[in-house]
Amino acid sequence: MKNKIKLSMLGTALIVVLLLLVPGCGSQSGQSANVDKEGNIIVRVGYFPNLTHAQALVGFSDGTFQKAMGDKVKITERIFNAGPAEIEALLAGEIDLGYIGPVPAINGFVRSRGGLRVIAGAADAGAVLVARKDANIKTAKDLNGKIVAIPQLGNTQDISLRNLLGSVNLKDAAKGGTVTIIPAGNSDILTLILKGEVDAALVPEPWGSIMVKQASAAVVLDSHEVWRSGKYTTCVLMVSTKFLNDYPDLVEKWLAAHVEITERINHDKDNGKNIINGMMKKITKKNLPDDIMNSSLSRITITNNPEKESIEEFVQISLKNGYIKGDPDVSNLVDLTLINKVLKKKGLQILQ
């Protein structure tokens, strides 16, 4: 009997050893998620088909990113439509870099306990407060007793709205205030305004311009009036700390391309507009009319600056409204080391 037990144990041990030797099994598969069978490094990037993700749209459209990274690097794209889904992909190690809104970025940093970093900005402002034409809303104070829509609870527009309400001594009806805040998709908000079921909305472009054109909505506060004179980030570039530590040279190359694209868009706005619109049509099968594009882009600042102070304020507003629990240390959330290295090499102003 003892011999049978010993043989059985020996057989089990041999099976375990064999499994570890089989590629893809056990902990010794030896194949990194960022290296393919030919030894090429894979960089996996997420972004939205949004105007505030302009650098991603241009860089993937004209090959700037691939050119910067070199022939031994393969770039894969992953398109998202919501920040939480992209954060889940970053946290799961499914993507390495992501263009994303600041509030999901903050939540991702807190959840990962520093496993993600903001390394550059992409866009500032680009959101407007619009109102139904017969809602009698002329200022933020007039939101008292009204129904206001935002695209998603806890997102950048929601946090901006709550900050705006606080500045005029108003607050959410769900917390004892007088302003009813409802989340809905941007296209649904347009329908709600047309039906008269909401009074106002704080929405990102191009939806503000679309609502003005299609629903005759009035702009109550333009993008530079919503908060901080427009100096608040609405899209940042985020990287997993693991990828940053493993491939700092590649992250620097990506940032060099990001800066190049930012400069190019700002120096040739018409060409940038056409590339952005063309890429959005490729992804979504729809393009935007020229007047909507012009109006929308006039409200967005394409930048490398993540507006660090605005991110810190987003953190405080998120804490105040219960979207972040506890009192997390976010001192390392924004890392400007590599972007400033790139900016210095290009003779551009470094960020603080």
Structure confidence at residue 32 (pLDDT): 55
The total number of residues written for the chain in this structure: 352
**What homologous superfamily does CATH list for 41-124+232-345?**
Periplasmic binding protein-like II (3.40.190.10)
| CA 343 vs CA 17, 259, 347, 348: distances in Å | 51, 8, 6, 5
Q: How much is the pTM?
A: 0.86
Backbone phi, psi, residue 298, to 5°: -65, -15
Give the pLDDT band (50/70/90) at residue 18. very low
Please determine, for residue 349, whether its predicted confidence score (pLDDT) is greater than 80: yes
What is the distance between the alpha carbons of residues 73 and 277, in angstroms, rounded to a whole number? 27
**pLDDT surpassing 80 at residue 17:** no
- Assess whether pLDDT exceeds 90 at residue 181: yes
User: How many angstroms separate the CA atoms of 227 and 218, rounded?
Assistant: 18
Cα separation, 54 vs 272, whole angstroms? 8
Q: Hey, which of 11-20, 217-226, 283-292 has the most confident mean pLDDT?
A: 217-226
pLDDT band at 327 (very low <50, low <70, confident <90, very high): confident
Confidence of residue 24 (pLDDT cuts 50, 70, 90): very low
Q: Per-residue pLDDT tens for 102-154?
A: 999 999 999 999 999 999 999 999 999 999 999 999 999 999 999 999 998 88
Which pLDDT score is estimated for 113? 92
Q: What is the pLDDT of residue 237?
A: 98
204 vs 206: CA distance, rounded Å: 6
Q: Is 9's pLDDT higher than 80?
A: no
Provide the pLDDT for residue 30: 39
Q: Give the Cα separation of 262 and 276 in Å (integer).
A: 12
Which CATH superfamily includes the segment(s) 127-230? Answer: Periplasmic binding protein-like II (3.40.190.10)
Q: Where in the chain is the domain with CATH 3.40.190.10?
A: 41-124+232-345, 127-230
Average pLDDT, whole number, for the chain? Answer: 90
